[in-house]
Chains A and B, each alone.
Chain A
Amino acid sequence: MTTFMVPAVNVADLKETTLLNMAIFGLFVAITMVIVVKASKNNKTAADYYAAGRSFTGSQNGTAIAGDYLSAASFLGITGAIAINGYDGFMYSIGFLVAWLVALLLVAELLRNTGKFTMADVLSFRLKQRPVRIAAAISTLVVCFFYLLAQMAGAGTLISLLLGISDWGGQALVIIVVGALMIMYVLIGGMKGTTWVQIIKAVLLIAGAAVMTLWVLAIYGFNLSSLLGGAVEASGNQNLLNPGLQYGKTETSKIDFMSLALALVLGTAALPHVLMRFYTVPTAKEARKSVVWSIWLIGLFYLFTLVLGFGAAALVGADTIKSAPGGVNSAAPLLAFHLGGPLLLGFISAVAFATILAVVAGLTITAAASFAHDIYASVIAKGKADAATEVKVARRTVVVIGLLAIIGGIFANGQNVAFLVALAFAVAASANLPTIVYSLYWRKFTTQGAIWSMYGGLGSAILLIALSPVVSGAKTSMIPGANFAIFPLSNPGIVSIPLAFFLGWLGSVLDKRLEDTTKQAEMEVRSLTGVGAEKATDH
């Protein structure tokens, strides 16, 4: 087997491909910018700007959802995790995929039928508008912020490897460029432009991963067993294929993994930027098709990462990966270099950049829509703002969020990307999911229940993170010198998610005020039948 191999990857060679990487990325930016400008011609109303005129088909939207979901953290992170930790890395991807069933079965269609632009539309449908909308908008902004930070911090890490820029100033400059490009996409293109960027990126990412997967399998004669054997042999670790390498060390780490699994499986269907995508299609049936399409694409992609991860372990080797700039995240790019030389590396690097750009754009438009639609239009202007003003506010918010993301990204550069993403999932699962499920399915759910559940879930998730070993008390903590880690787990979900469900129930049964049963009837009928749901706008 080893006779096929090109000599081991020399990390120093990567720097020579910098220009090529930049050229391919530049080409991607140029092509997508043209499409974004073309797509923006029809942006007239709020529905155009936030929801792309509800004119995308299920398969287009499903591809865009896959583009949104397959962030740099899942592409580079999972491949790297499998290369280093073997089986435990694979378990991540299973959680990320299975989670889509929650979205498919319980959330997507009913949400499409009852809402207009944001998650808060659904949550506040039959409850008291103001308090519920504010709470939902706050948790939307918090989740988007953590997710954004993760992507921007990831951009810094990626750059150090792919462009050979290792000094702080150079990385900061690239983060500024990424942020500025993203602001342009979202300002010009709105949801329609953002969606096209995501579709193109998803196609490139999945195609690139497919080529690499076939390549790796071909090296091993399309025999998965011998690929796995090669990975074990190269790593010298007999347990690479068995669970427990990362999470099986102690009893605490086992429970930590349970906690992570819970957040992953329940968090996906509550991520605001994923939920908002369901409004870009004309009907609930198309929303269903989107999820089906994205489940197939995401599932297929994670099967690719299984091969790529073990392929990187076998062909590149864990030691080379760990010592490369970018560490674990460099597994996929190094494998690309090993297989196809500078050209494939350039392609994969450009796709990884495009990934960050697209995900950041999706998050920004979600956060801006939530601020303009939920906080500005409904709370500050008390519903009196016209659509044009609302969109104007949304556009200004895009610029503000873009600048915050750039500044945050520069300072979060070097932080643990996987942790920030896991935190976003945990916050989404704790703060949003219980209220989404209760308000869609539980007749007796009340405003007080929603408020307790959302703030309780949000507050407890963040508090537990602050008191966890992630922030203090360990070598790898954000504040290594201090120790106030009284909560032993890195993932808060196992406590904060059940707590938020409990608070939602308790708040509702203790609420003396009754909710409007007419509104409840309206929501239920609308959610299941699609009566009066927002239609596609014609142009």
Chain B
Amino acid sequence: MGHEAQETDATAAVDFKEVQSTPRFQELRKRHRSFVFPMAIAFLLWYFAYVLLADYAVGFMSTKVWGNINVGLIMGLLQFVTTFAITGWYVSYSNRKLDPIAAEIRHEIEGHEFDKDGNQITGVKK
């Protein structure tokens, strides 16, 4: 497809292995993974802890806290709260720690292409 050929041309000359080995890319990779992996494990553990409690600790989950509102309902609503909180946290982390460095690397690669070939490629101008 025409589209694909154009795109491949634009980045064909880039030595991705070299980019991959630069300290800056390694830093980006580390920052990304050191946030998403622990966070993914944490929310999955919290979710399955909740599911296990609902399955096997029915008495505890049925304890009334306030009026007809019991521990189970509060825990369930807390799942909503943590989901919203993790979402907000990740967005702020990405904006501060990931996006600037990713944009820097991207501009460097695409700018380099621009210099070497002497003609403009798609995506240089945003």
Interface residues of A (CB under 8 A from B): 45-47, 87, 90-91, 94-95, 97-98, 100-102, 104-106, 116, 223-226, 228-229, 232, 239, 241-244, 247-248, 254, 257-258, 261, 265, 285, 288, 291-292, 295-296, 299, 302-303, 377, 385-387, 390, 441, 517-518, 521-522, 524-526, 528-535
Contacts of B55 in A (CB 8 A): 243-244, 247-248, 254, 257-258
A-B contact pairs, 21 of them (CB 8 A): A87-B54, A91-B51, A95-B51, A98-B47, A98-B79, A101-B86, A101-B87, A116-B4, A239-B62, A243-B55, A244-B58, A291-B87, A296-B87, A522-B11, A522-B16, A524-B16, A524-B20, A525-B19, A525-B109, A531-B109, A535-B122
Contact of B10 among A224, A525, A528, A532 (CB under 8 A): A532
Question: Do B91 and A288 have beta carbons less than 8 Å apart?
Answer: yes
Complex-state Cα separation, A95 to B56, whole angstroms: 17
**How many residues of B are in contact with the other chain, CB < 8 A?**
60
User: How many residue-residue contacts, CB under 8 A, span A and B?
Assistant: 175
Contacts of B122 in A (CB 8 A): 535
Question: Do B19 and A101 have beta carbons less than 8 Å apart?
Answer: no
Q: How far is the CB of A87 from chain B (nearest CB, A)?
A: 6
Question: Do B69 and A261 have beta carbons less than 8 Å apart?
Answer: no
Interface residues of B (CB under 8 A from A): 1-4, 7, 10-11, 14, 16-17, 19-20, 25, 28-29, 32-33, 35-36, 39-40, 43-44, 47-48, 50-52, 54-56, 58, 61-62, 66-70, 72-73, 76, 79-80, 83-84, 86-87, 90-91, 94, 99, 102-103, 105-106, 109-110, 122-123
Q: Closest residue of chain A to B22, judged by CB?
A: A525
Q: How far is the CB of B21 from chain A (nearest CB, A)?
A: 8
Question: Do B58 and A228 have beta carbons less than 8 Å apart?
Answer: no
Q: How far is the CB of A31 from chain B (nearest CB, A)?
A: 32
With A45-B3, A101-B86 known to touch, is A299 a contact of B80 (CB < 8 Å)? yes
Complex-state Cα separation, A331 to B2, whole angstroms: 52
Contacts of B50 in A (CB 8 A): 94
Question: Do A90 and B20 have beta carbons less than 8 Å apart?
Answer: no
Contacts of B36 in A (CB 8 A): 105-106
With A87-B73, A94-B79, A232-B68 known to touch, is A258 a contact of B17 (CB < 8 Å)? no
Contacts of A223 in B (CB 8 A): 67
Question: Do A46 and B109 have beta carbons less than 8 Å apart?
Answer: no
* New contact pairs (9) apart from A97-B79, A525-B109, CB-CB < 8 Å: A98-B47, A104-B90, A228-B68, A242-B70, A244-B58, A292-B87, A295-B83, A522-B16, A534-B3
